[in-house]
């Protein structure tokens, strides 16, 4: 359970800024309006602390509940807290002037460069792994598969400022391993998977989020593997998903198969 929801934090911050601006415009508060924006690092600081406090969270039913630790959320929290502390200290002159210039001029370029390198390495890992079924691209549009019976094949799916919906419960899934490569860039990919299928998901998110069978992870950067067993009914059928979300989201949820 999160300490604060994102909407609550955003609403509180907007409310405080609005009240301060109103009091300033009515000459009730003698305060330079521009000084309010010196406190913008409080936003990532609060979000980071909230994420850090919820890094350990319970997963599963009450009887079989276990504690889940998210490395991606932990790293994202540390980065956000670092941004908040460094820039707040710089804006309020708590940090020496020599370091203030370094923080303002070099921090963002270095952080963006590191994120781009990690994203590039992750994209290179997918080369040649899912070419059998071809490529499907949703560019500022949508792709929907599963309204009628269809055969699932290995392939790659890209949602760029668009959406892709796949219903695997209506698909004919072949024996062996089927590799699906998902990339969501400022878009979303929604997959409905049958409960009786072996599922392996290697997911990475950059300023985005990934949810697999109720296991959610996201933040500035995160990467993890999730395995789901379909039990005896799965047989030798396995779906291996390689997913990455860049300022977007990928959700893989369980759905009961339609009765024929």
- For the stretch 92-143, pLDDT in tens is 778 777 777 777 777 778 877 877 787 777 667 656 555 555 678 888 888 8
Residues 158, 183: Cα–Cα separation, whole Å: 5
Higher model confidence: residue 257 or residue 82? 82
| Chain center to CA of 128 | 25
% pLDDT > 90, the chain: 0
Is the predicted pLDDT of residue 1 greater than 60, yes or no?
Answer: no
pTM: 0.60
Which residue has 């990919």 as its token pair?
189
Pairing of strands 188-194, 249-255: parallel
CA-to-CA distance for 94 and 84, rounded, in angstroms? 13
């Amino acid at each position: 359970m999160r300490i604060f929801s994102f909407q609550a934090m955003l609403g509180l911050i907007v409310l405080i800024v609005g009240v301060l601006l109103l009091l300033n415009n009515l000459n009730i508060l003698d305060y330079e309006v521009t000084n309010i924006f010196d406190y913008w690092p409080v936003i990532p600081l609060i979000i980071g602390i909230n994420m850090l406090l919820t890094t350990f969270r319970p997963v599963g039913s009450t009887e079989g509940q276990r504690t889940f630790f998210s490395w991606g959320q932990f790293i994202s929290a540390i980065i956000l807290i670092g941004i908040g502390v460094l820039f707040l200290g710089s804006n309020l002159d708590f940090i020496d002037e020599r370091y203030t210039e370094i923080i303002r001029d070099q921090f963002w370029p270095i952080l963006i460069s590191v994120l781009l390198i990690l994203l590039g390495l992750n994209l290179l890992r997918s080369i040649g792994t899912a070419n059998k079924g071809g490529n499907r691209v949703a560019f500022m549009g949508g792709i929907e598969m599963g309204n009628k019976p269809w055969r699932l094949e290995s392939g790659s799916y890209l949602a760029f400022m668009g959406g892709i919906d796949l219903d695997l419960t209506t698909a004919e899934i072949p024996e062996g391993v089927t590799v699906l490569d998902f990339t969501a860039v400022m878009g979303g990919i929604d997959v409905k998977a049958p409960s009786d299928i072996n599922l392996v998901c290697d997911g990475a998110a950059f300023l985005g989020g990934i949810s697999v069978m109720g296991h959610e992870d996201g933040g500035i950067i995160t990467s993890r593997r999730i395995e789901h067993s379909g039990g005896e009914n799965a047989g030798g059928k396995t779906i291996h998903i390689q997913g990455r979300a860049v300022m977007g989201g990928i959700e893989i949820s369980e759905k009961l198969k339609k009765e024929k």
